[in-house]
């Protein structure tokens, strides 16, 4: 049943991606609305899977990399759904839907290896707090990178004097996209900061030390410093627009590389290796 939910969620996300791309090209409003509906349906099936897996394991279902990816896909889909609704900009789905499709597909392929149950030492109330904050931060950074990509694409179209929206489509202004990027970065940085603090508290309660400099912790700190520098450059140097968008994508690339590399190669106390 759990695997079926992942398959259905993946199908919904893939269908949503197709609807957004086809609807963007054809200007068919009904197709775009179907894309939004499929995105929401995929999130619903991911939620059902995570609830069922959590009840089965007796803890937040993030005991391996596959489950973490499913949780991340759910958060991105939900926040992306809200962003589309608030801005009335369906074009954002072109970025969100493929991202959750890729995450869901990877989760499905990795889930075949089975689940790992957390040991008693890690069955703590800090688990849902720490992991949720971390994945919320990652989801917000993903959305900020997606908005930055749209900014760069639309800016290049403006310079080439090509029309921005498709037939019957409305898109946010470049100024609006830049402002959204800044807010997403700010909230993502706050979530990541809280995730690091709660993780340190949890580690001290479990292993007797706040920090062990294992790869996941080290890369989290590096990522935190990079995003802190990015936000500082916007506040003090005044970097906006194209430069800020390009830097957002560059820092997010580092985040993705560290998240995938550490989780798959050397997870340490993260990603299913709890020894």
Q: Give the separation between CA 194 and CA 247, rounded to whole angstroms.
A: 23
State residue 275's pLDDT score.
38
Q: Find out whether 72 and 103 touch, Cβ atoms under 8 Å.
A: yes
- Evaluate if residue 219 carries a pLDDT over 60: yes
90-93's contacts with Cβ under 8 Å and 24+ in sequence apart are 90/20, 90/23, 90/32, 90/33, 90/35, 90/36, 90/169, 91/20, 91/24, 91/150, 91/165, 91/169, 91/171, 92/146, 92/147, 92/150, 93/16, 93/20, 93/32, 93/35, 93/36, 93/39
Q: Find out whether 230 and 247 touch, Cβ atoms under 8 Å.
A: yes
Q: Find out whether 39 and 180 touch, Cβ atoms under 8 Å.
A: no
Tokens matching residue 98: 């493929």
Residue 61 pLDDT grade (very low, low, confident, very high; cuts 50, 70, 90) = confident
Report the percent of the chain where pLDDT is more than 70. 81
Sequence-distant (6+) residues with CB within 8 A of 207 are none
Q: Is CATH 1.20.120 the right assignment for the domain spanning 1-114?
A: yes
State residue 93's pLDDT score.
86
For the ranges 66-75, 162-171, 199-208, 212-221, the lowest mean pLDDT is seen at 162-171
- Evaluate if residue 141 carries a pLDDT over 90: yes
Residue 81 pLDDT grade (very low, low, confident, very high; cuts 50, 70, 90) = confident
Q: Give the separation between CA 51 and CA 263, rounded to whole angstroms.
A: 23
pLDDT 10s digits, 14-45: 999 998 888 766 656 788 888 889 999 999 99
pLDDT 10s digits, 43-57: 999 999 888 888 876
Residue 239 pLDDT grade (very low, low, confident, very high; cuts 50, 70, 90) = confident
Report the percent of the chain where pLDDT is more than 90. 35
State residue 30's pLDDT score.
82
- Per-residue pLDDT, averaged over 220-225, amounts to 90
State residue 1's pLDDT score.
55
For the ranges 148-162, 175-189, 203-217, the lowest mean pLDDT is seen at 203-217
Q: Find out whether 12 and 96 touch, Cβ atoms under 8 Å.
A: no
pTM of the model: 0.86
Q: What is the mean pLDDT of the chain?
A: 82
Domains of the chain by residue range: 1-114, 122-275
Q: Find out whether 103 and 14 touch, Cβ atoms under 8 Å.
A: no
Sequence-distant (6+) residues with CB within 8 A of 203 are 209, 210, 211, 212, 269
Residue 272 pLDDT grade (very low, low, confident, very high; cuts 50, 70, 90) = very low
Taking the C-alpha atoms of 211, 249, 137 and 271 in order, what is their torsion angle to the nearest 10 degrees?
-60
């Amino acid at each position: 049943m759990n695997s079926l939910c992942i398959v259905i969620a993946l199908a919904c996300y893939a269908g949503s991606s197709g609807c957004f791309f086809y609807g963007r090209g054809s200007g068919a409003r009904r197709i775009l609305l179907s894309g939004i509906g499929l995105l929401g349906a995929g999130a619903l099936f991911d939620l059902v899977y995570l609830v069922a897996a959590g009840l089965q394991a007796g803890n937040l279902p993030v005991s391996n990399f596959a489950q973490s990816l499913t949780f991340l896909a759910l958060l991105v889909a939900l926040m992306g759904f809200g962003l589309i609704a608030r801005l009335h900009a369906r074009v954002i789905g072109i970025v969100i839907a493929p991202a959750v499709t890729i995450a869901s597909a990877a989760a499905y392929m990795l889930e075949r290896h089975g689940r790992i149950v957390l040991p008693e030492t890690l069955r703590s109330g800090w688990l849902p707090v720490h992991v949720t904050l971390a994945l919320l931060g990652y989801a917000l950074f993903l959305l900020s990178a997606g908005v930055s990509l749209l900014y760069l694409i639309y800016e290049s179209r403006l310079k080439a004097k090509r029309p921005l929206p498709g037939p019957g489509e409305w898109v946010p202004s470049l100024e609006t996209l830049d402002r959204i990027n800044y807010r997403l970065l700010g909230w993502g940085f706050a979530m990541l900061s809280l995730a690091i603090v709660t993780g340190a508290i949890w580690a001290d309660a479990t292993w007797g030390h706040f920090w062990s400099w294992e790869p996941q912790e080290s890369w989290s700190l590096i990522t935190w410093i990079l995003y802190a520098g990015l936000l500082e450059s916007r506040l003090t140097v005044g970097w906006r627009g194209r430069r800020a968008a390009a830097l957002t994508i560059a820092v997010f690339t580092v985040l993705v590389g560290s998240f995938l590399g550490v989780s798959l190669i050397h997870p340490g106390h993260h990603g299913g290796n709890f020894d």
